[in-house]
Each structure stands twice: as structure tokens, then as C-alpha cells.
Structure 1
């Protein structure tokens, strides 16, 4: 994986902050618009470049490589904002804005009702297409959950948050590590047993189960 980092710069002169929309693996996530185009909406993820710098570099390069796929949120670029001496520099990632929220948000809006079967099937198909693309490039996304499956306003399904992904050909001996969100983990992973690719079956099945 390349260690290339974004160019230095202050995004404040290019984008206008609209609101905080959530939190990613390493920092807060904002909805922003471009100064030259008020209808062009993006997501800013702001990180401190501290101890996690190597992991953040890995996520950036994964995004650069894979965000062209229809089921991966599009990556547009990044800025490193220099901080005063003694403080960590800030990294701002610019990503596609998925205006319909996450699958978790969608379920909350149903207020206890079930999603229709065709919607559940559609979400499952699109998530699996995204995972198949990642696997074909030797990447596993180790935190598949409702919050990391987003929908655009056109109902396109997008996977996000590669902060805990693993590069298969680099981490073949470390895939048994305890990484991810416990609620969404297969029992064998929580028990620190082998962490096979089949644990995807559990996480996607759980995503479908909570949708019913």
C-alpha cells in the first residue's frame, strides 16, 4: 500500500460546513457544500493525525483504489490542515454525500415495522456486490453493520468506513485479530477462534435479520 498523503491546505476556503452528521472510525463526519456550487453536497471526515496515521493512510489508499465501484462511497480527495506546534495535524477526507442515511437510519424510520421483502433483497444484493468487489481485490471489510451501509437519495447502496479493513495479502496471519463492532460479530470471532471469510455470512445475515 502506498504511503502517499494528501497535499497540505485549509479546506475552509473551499467548502462550507452545514452540519455534523455522525462519527466514523477516527473522527467526526460533517455535511458540507462547495463554495462554488451550493447544490454540490459532500461529506467531510475530520481526523487527527496522531497514532493512527498509518491506518488512515491505508484507508485513503483503499478509497482511492476502490471507490469507483457503484457500491463503494466515492472518494473525491483530502486535505492536511496544519495545527499549531504541540497539536496533531488534521486530515479532512472529502467523500460522496449519501443523503438518505444508513440502513440503521432507515429501520428507525419504520418505527417497528418490517421492510418489504424486495427492499431487503435489494440491500442484500448490493452489499454483497460491494463485498465481492473488495474480495476480488484482496480486501476484507471487518466492520459490516447497518451504520456502514449508506443509501443515496436515488436509493443506491454504498459501503463506507474502511478504518478496520484488512488487506488480505498483507495481513493473512493477522486476520484472527479482534477488530470490529461486537454486536455485529460472529460468535467464533468474539471467542477469538479462527476468523474465516465465512463470518461475512453472519454479519450480512444479521443485517437482514434486523431489517425483517
Structure 2
């Protein structure tokens, strides 16, 4: 369906008009490095709610991919196996440097450690954990590839 295409709304996002994250989210510590930047454990300033924050430089070459990611998050973050989208922010840099985009998500990995099987009060093997995580990843991917 043409209406379901996240690419259709790419023109609706103006990265330069996004708010600054100062006073809204703060970075706590680095938890990982990725292709496009670093991922931090962050905190919502007013509520103290923890978040995952991907911080990346905004370059013209990657702007369309960034817009696509934002659109995908806005559209699909309601699924229990997709991180909840809290928002996107731009931290302005001095002239001559790339601005930084902050993509703020709910912390999805917490769900992996609080699964219903804990009520059985038994140890799970590594194989159980691998099966559980694989199943949950496939459920999340099903959103993007419904014919699976």
C-alpha cells in the first residue's frame, strides 16, 4: 500500500528545526558504538526515566537514512519488540562542524531480563536465552516483513 510507505513522509522532517536536547535529555554513560555513532544510557531530565540515546553526526550524505529511521520509529514503535520512540533532537555544533542528532528510545533490553519465565524460579540455560531472544527479534522483524 502506498500509504504505508514511511518514505512518503520523508519530506515532512526538517532536521534543522528539531529542538535542542538540553534540559530534556542528558547523557549518562556510553553503552555501545555503532556504524553511525555512539549509544548512551540517558535520562529524561524532569522525570528521571532512563532512555537509550543514539548520538550521531548529521551529514548531508546520511540525512535521508536518518529521516527514514525517524519515520520508521514513529510508525512502528508501538510494537512490544520495537523500542519506544521518545523523540529526535539536534544539538547544534560550532560552524565547520556537523550538528549532532540525538535519537531517544525506550530501553528495550530491560524486557529481555524480566520475562514471564522468572516466575518458575528455575535457572535457564544459555540455549533457553538464545531461543527467547531470537524469537523476540523475529517478532519485531515481522513488523517490517509481514510475509515471514
TM-score by structure 2 length?
0.73
| 1:56 Cα deviation from its structure 2 partner | 1.1
Q: 2:85 aligns with which of 55, 75, 85?
A: 75
Tell me what 1:194 maps to. Answer: none
Q: Which has the higher contact order (CA 8 A, sep 6+)?
A: 2
The answer to whether the 8 Å contact 1:34/1:41 transfers is yes
The structure carrying a bigger helix percent of its residues is: 2
Q: Which runs of 5+ in 1 are unaligned?
A: 104-113, 139-196, 198-212
Tell me what 1:42 maps to. Answer: 51
How far apart, CA to CA, are the structure 2 residues paired with 1:69 and 1:30? 22
Q: Which runs of 5+ in 2 are unaligned?
A: 1-6, 114-124
Q: Deviations over 1:137-193 (max 9, x none)?
A: x9xxxxxxxxxxxxxxxxxxxxxxxxxxxxxxxxxxxxxxxxxxxxxxxxxxxxxxx
| 2:104 is the counterpart of 1:115 | no
Q: 1:127 aligns with which of 105, 115, 137?
A: 137
Q: Deviations over 1:75-110 (max 9, x none)?
A: 11111222222111211111112354989xxxxxxx
| 2:140 is the counterpart of 1:92 | no
| 2:93 is the counterpart of 1:54 | no
| 2:73 is the counterpart of 1:63 | yes
| 2:48 is the counterpart of 1:21 | no
How far apart, CA to CA, are the structure 2 residues paired with 1:49 and 1:67? 22
Tell me what 1:158 maps to. Answer: none
Detail structure 1 runs of 4+ shifted over 3 Å in the superposition: 98-103
Q: What CA RMSD, in Å, does the superposition of the two structures yield over aligned residues? A: 2.7
How far apart, CA to CA, are the structure 1 residues paired with 2:144 and 2:87? 20
TM-score by structure 1 length?
0.53
Aligned length: 127
Tell me what 1:145 maps to. Answer: none
